Amino acid sequence: MKKLTYLLLTLLVIVSCKENATTSIQEENQKEEITTPPQKEITDPKETEIWDPEPKAVSFNDINVPSDAIQLFNGNDLDQWISTKDSTTAAWTINPDKTMTVKPGTGDIQTKENFGSVQLHLEWKAPDIVKGEGQGRGNSGVFFQNKYEVQILDSYQNRTYANGQATSIYKQHIPLVNATKPNDQWQTYDIIFHTPTFSADGKKTKSGSFTVIHNGVLVQDHVEILGSTEYIGPPKNEPHGKGPIKLQDHSNPVHYRNIWIRELK
Ligand code: MG
């Protein structure tokens, strides 16, 4: 009997404590409701204006290069480039009309400078004579960090595997449409590249991404980079830091002009 009375008393104390706690939370809430003033309606448009920081003004030169870009090819020389295979002077041909052309057999060329995430603009034109089929017609390519290729190919009325045509992320992403112009016309690529990131122990912590605009048309919409763009086999994900921009010598005399880059922070 004594035990039962004790148990009942204990229960009574617990219930009463709980009630007190609930009451104090309710009281607290009520107090907050009373002290928080009602949101006042915004009627002045100025109240939602933000003035700082002010974006820096960018100007443009006669060929529309933004003043905060690095000109990788200005039509006069290949000073920003070296041969990929032996780091010697890039041996592609500079033409009198301020364009350059792949010199087949001399190999890929790459920038001296290394880059992380970037915006890249380049203009290219397929070889003057339409020759070859599929991957053999007007093939070149622009690589980011020496690992990730956006395909350059004369894909005008030239069928090949879809994840290998112009503006494909080679063997990873098919372009949304084929915006390739015929070989007698210059074409633009505007590419936003976000670098993948890796932890100190070499694991990929965030995938990179590509957005590609071809002749003003969106063809890759922030697609995930699955790893290096391999000719044979699946993508690889070896850790790396910044790397050069590389242009491919695929034995076809593809023309280039007006290449510039802006680093993204
Ligand atoms: Mg290629």
Tens of pLDDT, residues 42-100: 999 999 999 999 999 999 999 999 999 999 999 999 999 999 999 999 999 999 999 99
Q: For residue 135, give the nearest of 109, 108, 162 by alpha carbon.
A: 162
Instruction: For residues 103 and 84, give the distance between their C-alpha atoms in angstroms, rounded to a whole number.
Output: 14
- Amino acid present at 53: P
Q: How far is the CA of 198 from the centre of ligand 1 (A)?
A: 26
Residue 48 DSSP label: G
Domains of the chain: 70-263 (2.60.120.560)
Q: How far is the CA of 124 from the centre of ligand 1 (A)?
A: 13
What pTM value is reported for the model? 0.84
| Cα end-to-end span (Å), the chain | 77
Tens of pLDDT, residues 160-190: 999 999 999 999 999 999 999 999 999 999 9
Q: How far is the CA of 160 from the centre of ligand 1 (A)?
A: 12
Q: How far is the CA of 247 from the centre of ligand 1 (A)?
A: 9
Residue count (the chain): 265
Give the phi and the psi of residue 172 in degrees, each rounded to 5.
Answer: -125, -45
Using DSSP's 3-state secondary structure scheme, residue 58 falls into coil
Using DSSP's 3-state secondary structure scheme, residue 135 falls into helix
Q: How far is the CA of 141 from the centre of ligand 1 (A)?
A: 4
Q: How far is the CA of 239 from the centre of ligand 1 (A)?
A: 23
